[in-house]
């Protein structure tokens, strides 16, 4: 009877001479079960809500915005891209009867503009919080209550430990939790598992860069066609691409600046 193969001692590397079946080389599906490879998009342990953008869903773990976690949305200016980016997911939350709570939006939400996106006054709550302490307290209480479908909060300044505290609380919350922050925060560390940077594009689109996700770094920028719902039926095909209306001599970013003074032209017929 052959002698039994000794088991490896705790803390020591497996014996290279051991049978391959013991090391999992013959059955890789067992060896990698529950193990996430850094070169792959990670699995999302909790439920997700589709973003409404197919190309974005393909780049996110689980294929959508995560629940039981915080998602940071960074923008160059507040209230310029957040509603357009999150609108399709919020529409799904509202369709299921979930309430949507906005904490300290920089501008008063324009309800007639949100209604075409599926939001109405019956499921929309606006909380005015002026100081950072009031905002953090309101966000934390909403997360702990776990009684709404989505939370959108604006935080201009927040320390890393404050974000970490909200992330710990969000792990037991089934709602979508979005923190809208300025793009300067991209250089700061954050415990949020997902961070994206969104900015408006001239041709009614959004440029999105995934700054952090559970997976490999995404170097390319995503362009999401995003015509505002209220204007979709009013824009002509020509106005769907405003950048084509500007010549090379007058770039789009120059619109709104004072026009250069015109030099008087001497009329050769008058001396």
- The average pLDDT across 159-179 equals 97
Task: Pick the more confident residue, 46 or 37.
Answer: 46
CA 254 → CA 81, 122, 226, 267, distances in Å? 21, 42, 23, 30
Average pLDDT over residues 77-97: 92
Tokens of 56: 């974005």
Q: Which two tokens stand for residue 103?
A: 């904490």
Domain positions in the chain? 48-230
**pLDDT-derived band at 117, boundaries 50, 70, 90:** confident
Residue 232 confidence (pLDDT): 65
- Using alpha carbons, list the distances in angstroms from residue 223 to 125, 153, 198: 30, 24, 10
Who has greater pLDDT, 100 or 227?
100
Query: Considering Cα of 245, then 247, then 253, then 256, what sign does the dihedral take?
Result: negative
Per-residue pLDDT at 249 exceeds 80: no
The region, left, alpha or beta by phi > 0 then psi within -120 to 50, assigned to residue 11 is left
Phi then psi for 212, rounded to 5 degrees? -150, 135
Higher per-residue confidence, 55 vs 108: 55
Quote the tokens at residue 172: 């037991």
pLDDT tens, 131-167? 999 999 999 999 999 999 999 999 998 999 999 999 9
Taking alpha carbons only, the member of 158, 106, 151, 161 closest to residue 132 is: 158
Stated pTM of the model: 0.74
What band does 40 get if pLDDT is binned at 50, 70 and 90?
low
pLDDT at residue number 33: 52
> What mean pLDDT comes out for the span 49-78?
96
Six token digits for residue 89: 């997911």
Of 252 and 241, the structure prediction assigns the larger pLDDT to 241
Q: In the predicted model, what is the mean pLDDT of residues 72-91?
A: 93
The better pLDDT of the pair 256, 77 is held by 77
Arithmetic mean of pLDDT over the chain: 81
pLDDT bucket at 111, cuts 50 / 70 / 90: confident
The reported pLDDT for the residue numbered 65 is 97
In the chain, pLDDT over 70 holds for what percent of residues? 70
Residue range 48-230 forms a domain whose CATH class is: alpha beta
As a whole number, mean pLDDT of residues 55-75 equals: 96
Position 3 confidence tier, pLDDT thresholds 50, 70, 90: low
pLDDT of residue 186: 93
For residue 38, the model assigns a pLDDT of: 58
DSSP 7-50: PPPTTSPPPTTS-HHHHTSS-HHHHTTT---TTSPPP-SS-EE-
Q: What is the largest CA-CA distance in the chain?
A: 122
Whether the pLDDT of residue 28 is over 80: the answer is no
């Amino acid at each position: 009877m052959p002698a039994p193969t000794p088991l490896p001692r705790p803390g020591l590397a497996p014996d290279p001479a051991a049978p391959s079946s013991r090391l999992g080389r013959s059955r890789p599906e067992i060896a990698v079960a529950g193990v996430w490879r850094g070169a792959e998009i990670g699995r999302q342990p909790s439920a997700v809500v589709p973003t409404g953008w197919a190309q974005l869903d393909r780049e996110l773990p689980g294929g959508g915005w995560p629940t039981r976690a915080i998602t940071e949305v960074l923008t160059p200016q507040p209230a310029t891209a957040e509603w357009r980016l999150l609108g399709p997911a919020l529409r799904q939350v509202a369709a299921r009867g979930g309430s949507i709570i906005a904490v300290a939006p920089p501008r008063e939400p324009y309800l007639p503009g949100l209604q075409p996106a599926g939001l109405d006054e019956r499921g929309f709550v606006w909380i005015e919080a002026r100081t950072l302490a009031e905002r953090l307290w309101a966000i934390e209480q909403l997360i702990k209550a776990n009684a709404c479908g989505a939370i959108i909060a604006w935080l201009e300044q927040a320390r890393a430990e404050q974000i970490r505290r909200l992330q710990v609380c969000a792990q037991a919350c089934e709602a979508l939790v979005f923190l809208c922050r300025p793009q300067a925060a991209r250089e700061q560390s954050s415990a949020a598992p997902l961070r994206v940077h969104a900015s408006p594009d001239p041709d009614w689109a959004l440029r999105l860069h995934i700054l952090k996700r559970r997976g490999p770094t995404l170097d390319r920028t995503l362009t999401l066609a995003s015509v505002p719902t209220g204007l979709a039926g009013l824009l002509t095909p020509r106005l769907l691409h405003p950048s084509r209306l500007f010549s090379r001599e007058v770039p789009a970013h120059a619109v709104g600046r004072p026009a250069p003074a015109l030099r008087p032209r001497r009329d050769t017929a008058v001396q």
